[in-house]
A and B are shown apart, each in its own frame.
Chain A
């Protein structure tokens, strides 16, 4: 469980997250909102790339904001990026094995291979990532996020730019992450069909504020959410 309390992030004069208070319970949770709503900023705060102006984040009882980036990863935070960040020069195996892990030796190798297996990559672990296509690279990144006993997996638009069939495959993978790793998974995406297919609960941000949260189906019917996405008739 992640408890976000009064989290505020400012970039100069822009308030990207405005006193955000929010709880993610368990399983796969969606985080949606129009462009500039603060979704990626929220991820950046959790993974340590952005220092908030104020507020607190407690993850499973740990004060996350007190840890340096790489210590957060050791604690169990994993994330993927909006622009995919698989390391081209390395093999699939090395790309996944680069993530920090409490496991050692044979157990660690087995864990890495299990992660590659889990995301359903149908290439040899010795293949160089530079030779793979966009969809496969995304899977490599997801495999990296589920290796090494994660506790919190943050996926930032993992399906961006993927064809429908690969998106469906990715959806199945993401849905299985909490069961496979026990980690709380948060998915940011613009693709509503993906979010409603994958997430049990969803939170909606607009201009750095939480405007709705709850079960995904209810949230997507919420009139505030419709207004944020589609605009209002009165204007």
Chain B
């Protein structure tokens, strides 16, 4: 049963179609990858799902309920969380408080401050950032800031997690650690939809992959099918 589905999702910027008539679905418990050359419309699609943008036409549903047109905070509270391509942590606030905000405001039902603090600490352990909990977020390394963003997203108790290029800028060791974190998140029962350019990660972790090009979906299938698809190879080699 699809946790997330979109039909005919379209978005224009000026005269240009950033996303054009895209149908997609993500099933419960899956890890689905979203790939495509730069400018293909991947982040725009995520923005449409998370409520940062409103689709021109088409509809997006989460657990059967229409979410396109809702505000980001409403979509977050329904159980969709995301990270951002350019990391958006709350720089001057300590690490713990970054996560705490998620527990306090983003969950489907409210939580007392005491419980929220407990949750936040637990999540910091989960992403292995406990030692840095009092450090201002802006003083963290890029890899750690990405972990922080993930922890903050997880604090909102999502059923669906959107990861936008969470591995960008990471060295091979950090990539491996990130892949391992994603697997652990999936083991918790959270469905994952991820944009990625690091092919090793995509192929290694995803059950299914979607390919966008110039705003349109051009291919969809298992990692093997995508890796051997002529259409996809042409698109990437032609870049």
Q: Do A and B bind each other?
A: no
| Residues of chain A having any CB pair with chain B under 8 Å | none
| Residues of chain B having any CB pair with chain A under 8 Å | none
